[in-house]
Structure 1
Amino acid sequence: MGSRSRARRAAAVLGFTGLLCAVLGAVMIVVVPTLIKQQVLKNVRIDPSSLSFNMWKEIPVPFYLSIYFFDIVNPDAILLGEKPQVQERGPYVYREFRHKSNITFNDNDTVSFLEYRSFQFQPDKSHGLESDYIVMPNILVLAAAMMMENKPMSLKLIMTLAFSTLGERAFMNRTVGEIMWGYEDPLIHLINKYLPNMFPFKGKFGLFAELNNSDSGLFTVFTGVKDFSRIHLVNKWNGLSKVKFWHSDQCNMINGTSGQMWAPFMTPETSLEFYSPEACRSMTLIYKESGTFEGIPTYRFVAPSTLFANGSVYPPNQGFCPCLESGIQNISTCRFNAPLFLSHPHFYNADPVLAEAVLGLHPNQEEHSLFLDVHPVSPCLLTCGG
């Protein structure tokens, strides 16, 4: 009898324990996701007390910038009217360091800041050295020639004489380091002397000379402390709520975030919007697929085929015109009228006539599409390409 009584008591205890575990499990299924969500919402806000504030202030994840150049194989033949032939060189990889400064919290639930960037060459990750020579178009000569297009004939003749006297040519042969970070050119000094303010730079000229150890403009973004629905969205850039480079209100709008963090708890229906100071415009990427990056779950967002489409193919882009073939965007209006264009590498997603006009281009989705990989719960940028 005693053993049966003990068995019944043990069964009762086990039954009660099982019921308690089931109840606790049901409660945790309901409560834990809510608690996790509350903690995520609390800690992704731009607030000195949040866990992510220091990461937002100075991104600890290493960024790497991979640069490829098209080395022109036949510059002399091009001047005789032959089709250009290029050879892709690179990547030349740079570690990019970012940190925010001049952080100022405003009364309207926004914070203003400058984000400084610096670059450090990584020879072990690169396929080549900064001392490699590259033959490419002489950007200064082409820019100066374009800027002279509507000037008086007398100025055009003076510029032509200057080109000849200074030995300037349509193509140049310079090192990667010079092309990236700057080189002395007597043409700059001549133009700054007789045509001040024509060029935005006074010393060396380089594709990234103005970006190294500089900021990308004054961003003012919503903190999400008072209104979480607007977290990380840009309120103003350089004091502007919209830019003035383009020919329609839609194209001039500053939409999305500054391009590093977005609102948490993304779904496949979410899109990524961000404003790019380098492109002088806002961009929208769309969800493609889920994946992992070093064991971390990610959502991949890609550029739609209409991103750089011209106004004929995609009417909303008419404001970015005057347009040429679809797939390249003229950004001369925000780059001192220099003949500069945006496109995907190798003219991917562009009118086929562009890639066919140059020997050595091989556009393909895997290597040349623009994408961002982000963590969907607390969306920080993990990888990108394009």
Structure 2
Amino acid sequence: MYINFYYFQQVILKEGNVLYNIWRDLPIPIYMQFYLFDVKNPEEVMQGKKPYVEQKGPYTYSEKRVKYDIVHNDNGTVSYKQNRTFHFIPEMSVGKETDEFTTPNPVYWSLISALEWQPAELNRIITFLIKFIGEDVFTKRSMSGIIWGQNDTALTLAMQLAPSWFYTNFIGYFMNKNATNDGVYTIFSGQKGTTGDIGFIDKYNGSKYLDFWTSPWANMVNGSDGTIGPPYVSKSRVPYAFASDICRSVSGKYTEDVEFKGVNLWRYGAEMSYLENATLNPNNAGFCTPPGQCLDTGIINISSCQIVDFFHIPVSMSLPHFYLGSDRYINAVYNMKPNKEEHETVLDMEPHTGWIFSAAKRLQVNLHMKPVPGIE
């Protein structure tokens, strides 16, 4: 490959360079689209039958990303925060934010799962809340309430009964994610040394490691933030990206050449090794929480980094419809239709600059439901 020195100079993250302002304040449209599952047979599920769900979506939001508190460090890195703001787009959505869905109750399951680990005194309060308020396995909530959060009756009462344990009555899967940042990133700018590490994360929130997982390997912060990488890389390179959504780094692999508005790009897709269970890939044992409690291929328990009121929300992440996951998950819910075109995560990179021209990150949020002794 012919290497143009001009590219090297312009992709460096330095004020005045061609790509610096684009990196700081992305002018391209970014959309967050939500597809929700409506549980059609909650009563049957309570009797032990499989859930039957119907998917509805997209509910589309524009996403604006602006980097701020930018500090260029003496060691050739740059630190920043990134504000993400979402605005609902009715004309690109199938319905309104007020559309209601029957869904597993995140408050109920967070309280239930806490019974295994919390002190006996707190367990008595939790059991009282569940019985007194009438919290149930399923709940009916609006789309915006499920995603962005809403006030909850049980949590309101809990704040009155045990204020030292409950500090908020607001809960949603993406609560505190609008008009906020997801932490402090410190990445290599390319101003010192080679450009081979441009965009790679040096530290996240001041550390090279996370503290969510049970092994040093699992807690490593590897790769970029998924928006910029080094120029002139080979197709055989295994790119890594850190995703704060799932609290871990993931790897990808080159799959094919694609074209975007006349520009030739290299497409990268998910590498199967990061989806495999701990038997197939022993390194993934570090993502088993608690230690030794491992899920099967295609799903990861991220409850260790999803906390409300000191309680861990029992959330697990997968690809949509359990794509590339174990058949046991796909077959456990009626109406799962996993397919590559709709459900894979892809990233299209321009190889000369290392910049991402097009990407689709697709994730499914699952609530991990399991029996707890003492609760009917």
Give me the TM-score of the superposition, normalised by structure 1.
Answer: 0.87
Are 1:202 and 2:168 matched, yes or no?
yes
Q: In 2 relative to 1, CA 265–193 (structure 1 residues): closer, same or farther, beyond 3 Å?
A: farther
1:83 corresponds to: 50
For 1:294 and 1:385, the matched residues in 2 are separated by: 20
Letter in 1 for 2:62: R
Gaps of 5+ in 1: 1-29
For 1:264 and 1:198, the matched residues in 2 are separated by: 49
Taking the TM superposition and a 5 Å limit, the aligned residue runs for 1:243-262 are 243-262=210-229
1:189-220 deviation per Cα after TM superposition (whole angstroms, max 9, x unaligned): 33344445656x72522222211000010001
2:365 corresponds to: none
Are 1:131 and 2:103 matched, yes or no?
no
Post-superposition shift, 1:129?
Answer: 2.0
1:365 corresponds to: 340
For 2:247 and 2:81, the matched residues in 1 are separated by: 17
Letter in 2 for 1:221: I
Post-superposition shift, 1:383?
Answer: 2.3
Taking the TM superposition and a 5 Å limit, the aligned residue runs for 1:1-386 are 34=3, 37-196=4-163, 198=165, 202-227=168-193, 228-321=195-288, 322-336=293-307, 337-381=312-356, 382-386=358-362
Gaps of 5+ in 2: 363-376
Identical-residue share of aligned pairs (%) = 33
What count of residue pairs does the alignment treat as equivalent?
A: 352
Higher helix fraction (1 or 2):
1
Q: In 2 relative to 1, CA 196–375 (structure 1 residues): closer, same or farther, beyond 3 Å?
A: farther
Q: Please identify, of 176-185 and 47-56, the stretch whose mean Cα deviation from structure 2 is larger.
A: 176-185
Please state whether the residue corresponding to 1:173 is helix, strand or coil: strand
1:329–1:342 CA contact under 8 A, matched in 2: yes
For 1:156 and 1:204, the matched residues in 2 are separated by: 21
1:101–1:116 CA contact under 8 A, matched in 2: yes
Post-superposition shift, 1:264?
Answer: 1.3
1:299-330 deviation per Cα after TM superposition (whole angstroms, max 9, x unaligned): 11110222222211211111111312221111
Please state whether the residue corresponding to 1:124 is helix, strand or coil: helix
Q: Please identify, of 254-263 and 161-170, the stretch whose mean Cα deviation from structure 2 is larger.
A: 161-170
Give me the TM-score of the superposition, normalised by structure 2.
Answer: 0.89
**Larger Cα Rg: Structure 1 or Structure 2?**
1
Post-superposition shift, 1:258?
Answer: 1.6
Q: Please identify, of 247-256 and 201-210, the stretch whose mean Cα deviation from structure 2 is larger.
A: 201-210
1:67-87 deviation per Cα after TM superposition (whole angstroms, max 9, x unaligned): 111110101111111111111
Letter in 2 for 1:86: V
1:39-89 deviation per Cα after TM superposition (whole angstroms, max 9, x unaligned): 111111110021111001001111111111111010111111111111111
For 2:302 and 2:59, the matched residues in 1 are separated by: 25
1:160-195 deviation per Cα after TM superposition (whole angstroms, max 9, x unaligned): 221232232211111112212221112223334444
For 1:196 and 1:335, the matched residues in 2 are separated by: 20
Post-superposition shift, 1:331?
Answer: 1.2
Across the aligned residues of Structure 1 and Structure 2, the Cα RMSD in angstroms comes to: 1.8
Letter in 1 for 2:294: C
2:153–2:169 CA contact under 8 A, matched in 1: no
For 1:258 and 1:74, the matched residues in 2 are separated by: 40
